[in-house]
């Protein structure tokens, strides 16, 4: 969509003269732009700044003065209201009418950057409480925490040395990073590969890949990987059901132990999956669903990593899967009074830093589910018609 068309649509949106089709066209453009931000925000304010910055970058020098101010005003309206709600309701006014089933909850907050690092000797370091800077050193590898919520491993020993030498040969030291419910974290591994961990996930990895024939890590939960290319040193991600082998690529794996389905989505490069006697090679834009066997389909790969960029995006997803993500991110318990609701499908697009009540309101607007909350427990029932 060219700038003139975008500007016209935003003017109409601001003047309340846009048709439903024009609103949908504008929001589609906005979502596509926003989802390309490869950021890992730590708060709702950060998400807002990212979204507004994305709109501002679309403004060319020719848009000045009053037109520029009007653009920013309309962009702000879109930021606050449009992207998180309009798509799933027929009128904007209904947003301010919370259903009686959901009371405002003040003690439940969205997740944030928090995790625990388990060192090779079994000691545990809280990354939530640790100060920025170097927090540990193991076998010539420095471990540091950055201000924006990253754990960085940097090799400080000469290339070619082994992690530890003993009479019996080389001993490989492993670290594990764990995120709780309501947590997320980013790790930069010793080879420079980047890993984003979603809530209630863990990653076990060697302190150093030196002197090894492969880069093997173990994942439980969900993570997005950007793997550094090393032709001579393949990268393998092991879960409880499969092994994913890569040389250098960007991909997401969702492998929570309490879920029957394991999903792998490829954004860039190539990966090979092995699960028992089943194998599959993915191309960019493909998703592999593993249950009893491997099923490969084409998907919008950006949707799979919306969580990493600070969003919830569920497109025709089973309510059980949606509420599983909600439970992990907001650290709550979910109870279904009607088991059939688990398989009903819903659509949600919103920032992951919205209040839980506003998120549940959106879901209620799109189907037959009704939510009630007591403490940190969400009860899901069917609407009475």
Q: DSSP letters along 202-268, please?
A: EEEEES--TT-SSEEEEEEEEEEEEPPP-TTS-EEEE-SS-EEEESS-EEEEEE-TTSS-EEEEEEE
Q: What does the pLDDT read at residue 137?
A: 82
Residue 103 lies in a domain: no
What are the angstrom distances between the C-alpha of 90 and each of 30, 82, 184?
Answer: 19, 12, 34
Average pLDDT over residues 336-349: 92
Residue 329 lies in a domain: yes
Q: Are residues 176 and 241 in the same domain?
A: no
Pairing of strands 250-255, 278-282: unpaired
Q: In this predicted model, what pLDDT tens digit does every residue of 310-328 receive, in sequence order?
A: 889 888 899 999 999 999 9
Q: What does the pLDDT read at residue 91?
A: 32
Most confident of 159-173, 183-197, 357-371: 183-197
Q: What is the CA radius of gyration of the chain?
A: 23
Q: Are residues 296 and 347 in the same domain?
A: no
At which of 291, 308, 325 does a domain end? 308
For the chain, how many structural domains are there in total? 4
Which has the closest alpha carbon to 320: 274, 268, 258?
258
DSSP state of 82: I
| Helices (runs of H) and strands (runs of E) counted in the chain | 8, 26
Q: Are residues 199 and 230 in the same domain?
A: no
Residue 101 lies in a domain: no
Q: In this predicted model, what pLDDT tens digit does every residue of 207-243 receive, in sequence order?
A: 988 878 899 999 999 999 999 988 889 999 999 999 9
Q: Are residues 190 and 246 in the same domain?
A: no
Average pLDDT over residues 167-189: 85
Q: Are residues 301 and 369 in the same domain?
A: no
Structure confidence at residue 302 as a pLDDT band (50, 70, 90): confident
At residue 344, φ and ψ (nearest 5 deg) are: -75, 145
Tell whether the model's pLDDT for residue 356 goes beyond 60: yes
Average pLDDT over residues 329-355: 92
Record the tokens describing residue 245, joined without a space: 């082998």
Residue 286 lies in a domain: yes
How far does the chain reach from its first CA to its final CA, in angstroms?
42
Average pLDDT over residues 163-186: 75
pTM of the model: 0.74
At which of 308, 342, 369 does a domain end? 308
At which of 41, 71, 95 does a domain end? 95
Residue 104 lies in a domain: no
Q: In this predicted model, what pLDDT tens digit does every residue of 34-79 receive, in sequence order?
A: 444 444 444 444 544 555 555 555 544 444 445 544 445 445 444 4
Record the tokens describing residue 66, joined without a space: 């009053």
Residue 342's domain comprises 311-382
Residue 367 lies in a domain: yes
Q: Are residues 147 and 201 in the same domain?
A: yes
């Amino acid at each position: 969509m060219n700038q003139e068309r975008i500007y016209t649509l935003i003017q109409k949106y601001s003047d309340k003269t846009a048709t439903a089709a024009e609103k949908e066209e504008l929001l589609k453009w906005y979502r596509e732009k926003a989802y390309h931000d490869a950021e890992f925000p730590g708060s709702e304010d950060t998400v807002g700044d990212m979204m507004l910055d994305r709109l501002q970058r679309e403004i060319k020098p020719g848009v000045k003065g009053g037109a520029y101010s009007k653009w920013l005003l309309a962009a702000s309206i879109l930021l606050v209201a449009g992207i998180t709600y309009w798509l799933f309701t027929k009128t904007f006014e209904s947003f301010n009418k919370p259903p009686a089933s959901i009371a405002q909850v003040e003690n439940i907050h969205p997740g944030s950057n928090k995790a625990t690092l388990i060192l090779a000797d079994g000691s545990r370091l809280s990354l939530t409480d640790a100060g920025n800077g170097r927090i540990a050193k193991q076998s010539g590898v420095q471990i540091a925490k950055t201000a924006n919520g990253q754990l960085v491993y940097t090799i400080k020993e000469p290339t070619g040395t082994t992690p530890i030498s003993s009479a019996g040969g080389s001993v490989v030291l492993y670290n594990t990073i764990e995120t709780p419910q309501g947590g997320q974290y980013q790790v930069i591994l010793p080879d420079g590969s980047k890993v984003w961990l979603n809530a209630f996930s863990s990653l076990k990895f060697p302190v150093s890949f030196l002197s090894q024939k492969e880069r093997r890590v173990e994942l439980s939960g969900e993570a997005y990987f950007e793997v550094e290319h090393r032709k001579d040193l393949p990268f393998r991600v092991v879960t409880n059901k499969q092994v994913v082998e890569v040389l250098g690529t960007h991909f997401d794996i969702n492998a929570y132990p309490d879920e029957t389905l394991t999903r792998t989505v490829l954004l860039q490069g190539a990966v090979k999956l092995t699960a028992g006697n089943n194998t599959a090679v993915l191309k960019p834009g493909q998703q592999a669903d593993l249950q009893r066997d491997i099923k490969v389909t084409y998907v919008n790969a950006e949707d799979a990593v919306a969580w990493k960029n600070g969003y919830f995006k569920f497109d025709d997803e089973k309510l059980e899967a949606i509420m599983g993500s909600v439970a992990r991110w907001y650290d709550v318990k979910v109870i279904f009074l009607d088991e059939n609701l688990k398989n009903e499908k819903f659509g949600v697009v919103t920032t992951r830093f919205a209040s839980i009540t506003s998120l549940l309101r959106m879901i209620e607007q799109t189907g037959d589910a009704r939510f009630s909350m007591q403490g940190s427990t969400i009860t899901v029932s069917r609407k009475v018609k």
